[in-house]
Structure 1
Amino acid sequence: MTRIAPLTPPYPPGIEDALRRWMAPHVAHDPLVLFRVLHRHAELASRMRVLGAGLLAHGELPAADRELVIARTCARSGCEYEWGVHAVVFPELTADELAATVHDGADAPVWSPRQRALVGAVDDLHDTATVSPARWAELAAHLPDTQLLEFLVLTGWYRTISGLANALALPPEPWAARFGDNADHAG
């Protein structure tokens, strides 16, 4: 059970529309538990949505890079909830890549040099709250300054979302992927 109960239908006026705006247009599932909990504080949820939606729908990072960064950030943060939602809703990564975000390091053979740089930089940020000079040079060889900035904000945002979901003790969405899926990939 979550530490703060999510809203349940029927929703207060305006909340139904607000919850639908949080969901990706192609998703037919009910609004996520995370969103329904956040709407206990509708003003805060509204402010958070602007950044979250901007990163998902209007970013410069290619979708596969974005989802790799999100998956690795969530995996390193132990946030199966958000990792599993993105694995299903934004299927940009292969099953082997998804499994590697949970079970392998930046040196996994599944990664291209660009992906290796992204995964390694996420790991640096997770472990030290900075990116080492060597890793920054590796990342900068693949991304222009605008994408470097977006990478940093995206990683920080999903670290925040992971902490929020973990602290709220959110149960996985019933339809979401689980860390154990593809566990046989672990090397």
Structure 2
Amino acid sequence: MTAPRIAPLDPEHLAPKVRELLDALPDTALRTANITTTLARHPELLAASFPLSTMLLYAGTLPDRDRELVILRTAHLAGSAYIHAQHVRIGHLTGLTPAEIARTAAGPGADDWSAHEAALLTAADELHHHACISEATWQRLAQHYGEQQLIEVSVLAGHYRMWAAALNSFGVTPDPAPPTAEREVSDATG
């Protein structure tokens, strides 16, 4: 797609109800992000989507690094340039190296993943392709996680798969990297 099917609203033209929702976001960059300003065209859906998205990203039980591995693999599998670009930035902040982020595209069979990391990536693959985590993968994850975290892995992958389908269909383009994120990525890569 060369242009969005549904263009983001100019932040200056947001309805007061939408502005109120956005002002409550913990991440100020998200207030003007293309995903947010596109969804602002459907204020009820925008409002309904915030609680789960916010919980998974800011208050989940998974370690941040593990969460980002699942999201990056899901974004790759779903072909979501938007989610991938956003979570490359977030992944760096959680301690993922540029090489690890790039390696998520190769999947769980790539060299240098720990057994636990490979299980997370396998779970993302299985959820994407079969809508179910296999028993073997579930048992490997259960060696590190309790019930809440196991639930969260499944919901996290499904949530980002849903957003990938929507964003790909809308034609939402990646946001420009903030100058500090560009510097952090540059510093991390050498």
Q: TM-score range by the shorter chain?
A: 0.7 to 0.9
Task: Please report the TM-score for the alignment, with normalisation by the length of structure 2.
Answer: 0.84
Residue 32 of structure 1: aligned partner: 33
The structure-2 alpha-carbon separation of the partners of 1:30 and 1:58, relative to structure 1 and needing over 3 Å to count, comes to closer
**1:146 deviation in Å?**
1.1
Q: Which residue identity lines up with residue 59 of structure 2 in the other structure?
A: H
Residue 17 of structure 2: aligned partner: 14
Matched position secondary structure for 2:32: coil
Q: CA RMSD in A?
A: 2.0
**1:110 deviation in Å?**
2.6
Q: What are the residue-to-residue correspondences of 1:90-101 with 2, within 5 Å?
A: 90-91=91-92, 92=94, 93-101=96-104
**1:82 deviation in Å?**
0.8
Which sections of structure 2, spanning at least 5 residues, go unmatched?
A: 186-190
Give runs of ≥4 in structure 1 deviating > 3 Å. Answer: 20-23
Paired with 2:72 and 2:23, the residues of 1 have a C-alpha distance of 23
Paired with 1:76 and 1:152, the residues of 2 have a C-alpha distance of 15
Paired with 2:59 and 2:33, the residues of 1 have a C-alpha distance of 21
Is the 8 Å Cα contact of residues 22 and 35 (structure 1) preserved in structure 2? Answer: no
Is the 8 Å Cα contact of residues 38 and 172 (structure 2) preserved in structure 1? Answer: no
Q: Which residue identity lines up with residue 163 of structure 1 in the other structure?
A: A
Is the 8 Å Cα contact of residues 74 and 159 (structure 1) preserved in structure 2? Answer: yes
Number of equivalences: 175
Paired with 1:90 and 1:15, the residues of 2 have a C-alpha distance of 28
Paired with 2:87 and 2:35, the residues of 1 have a C-alpha distance of 13
Q: Deviations over 1:154-185 (max 9, x none)?
A: 111000111111111112212289xxx9xxxx
Residue 65 of structure 1: aligned partner: 66
**% identical aligned pairs:** 36
Q: Which has the higher helix share?
A: 2
The structure-2 alpha-carbon separation of the partners of 1:86 and 1:115, relative to structure 1 and needing over 3 Å to count, comes to same
Paired with 1:171 and 1:131, the residues of 2 have a C-alpha distance of 30
Q: Which residue identity lines up with residue 107 of structure 1 in the other structure?
A: G
Residue 184 of structure 1: aligned partner: none
Residue 188 of structure 2: aligned partner: none
The structure-2 alpha-carbon separation of the partners of 1:5 and 1:23, relative to structure 1 and needing over 3 Å to count, comes to farther
Matched position secondary structure for 1:120: helix
Is the 8 Å Cα contact of residues 121 and 131 (structure 1) preserved in structure 2? Answer: yes
Task: Please report the TM-score for the alignment, with normalisation by the length of structure 1.
Answer: 0.86
